[in-house]
Amino acid sequence: MCIKDNLMSRGAMKIARDCAGVSTEDIVAIVCDYASFEVANQVTKACLAIGACTNMIIFEPTKSHGTPPPDVVGAAIEKATVAFLITTKSMSHTSAVKAARALGCRIITMPEVYPHMLVYGAIEADFPARSIVACKVKDILTNAKTARIICEENGTDISFSLEGRTGRAVDGIATTPGSFAAPPNIEACIAPVEECTNGVFVINASIAGVGIVTEPVKLTVRNGVIELIEGGNDADLLESIFTMHDNPNCFRISELGIGLNPNAIPCGTLLEDEAPLGTVHIAAGNNASNFPGGQVSAPLHIDMIAKDATLYIDDIMLLKDGVFQDEALD
């Protein structure tokens, strides 16, 4: 085994053992495509070393985050007790995942996870300790009626209704039947009430499917729908992603999320870019399959991340200029 493989194997074992709780009693499905095989192979080896019945399914990469996988993939994960979705594009927000979870499958989704991410960065987090933080933020979101993101420097000022919605703690751990995790991402998130999101949101960090932005992208949102996308090449690329499916629901705001991983290093990949402590993100597209109360059905789910913003949940300041306010959890 070369040094690189040895280092990657440690991260793979941490994900299999600590994040998914894989045991000899499990039936494991490793889902990947040819572009994500290297990482998937390391997780497969970890599950085999633990002694689980482990199967790998390889298919062609889907076109965008949230695109449903082939039917054979859905059938495979429904038969598993734990499934690792190590794919180029995210399967998290699909009906296949929803169906598998309903049958008790533990889902570990890992889109855009590259070899270095098994060695350093977000994978080094203390997942059990950060889970406590994520659960506290989840409770704040669940009990809230409104949220507002502002940044005077770039003009961000967008408001959401959260009333009646339940927050989620995506803490990197899925050890109970039907649970869901996205290691190395750690975040708390919620589906805002449809048609009640209004304002301007400036993306100055990263976009799922695009990567680190080269210049800010400005979104204008009215009644829960993105009406205008302004900026340079990244703005054009984002708009092309939204329009490729010819489905108006792709433009509907579907998530508000807060990054909670202090070890995350933005590197142009989805799970690490939306995870850094102090960042905030919104998403457009599907939330009906993976968010309590979510009403938006769409063939994609695109996360858009901002840094240096201030976030209010009701009258609680959770972020101030991109700095997480620990005292807000007391």
What does DSSP say about strands 211-212 and 198-203: parallel, antiparallel, or unpaired? unpaired
Residue 94 Rama label (left phi>0; alpha psi -120 to 50; beta): beta
pLDDT of res. 29:
98
Q: What is the pTM of this model?
A: 0.90
Q: Is the bond into 184 cis (omega within 30 degrees of 0)?
A: yes
**322-to-150, 154, 183, 260, 306 alpha-carbon distances in Å:** 10, 13, 22, 12, 9
Q: Which domains does the chain have, with CATH numbers?
A: 3-119 (3.40.1830.10), 126-329 (no CATH)
pLDDT of res. 172:
95
The pLDDT averaged over each successive group of 10 residues in the chain (330 residues) is 82 96 98 94 98 96 86 95 95 91 97 92 95 97 98 97 97 96 96 97 95 97 98 96 95 98 91 96 94 94 97 98 96
* Residue 179 tokens, joined: 């649970």
DSSP class of 69: P
Separation between Cα atoms, residue 303 and residue 315, nearest integer Å: 25
Residues 134 and 187: beta-carbon distance below 8 Å = yes
Residue 21 Rama label (left phi>0; alpha psi -120 to 50; beta): left
Residues 111 and 90: beta-carbon distance below 8 Å = yes
pLDDT of res. 290:
85
- Tokens 């000022």, located at residue: 157
pLDDT of res. 162:
98
pLDDT of res. 112:
87
- Tokens 């995350």, located at residue: 264
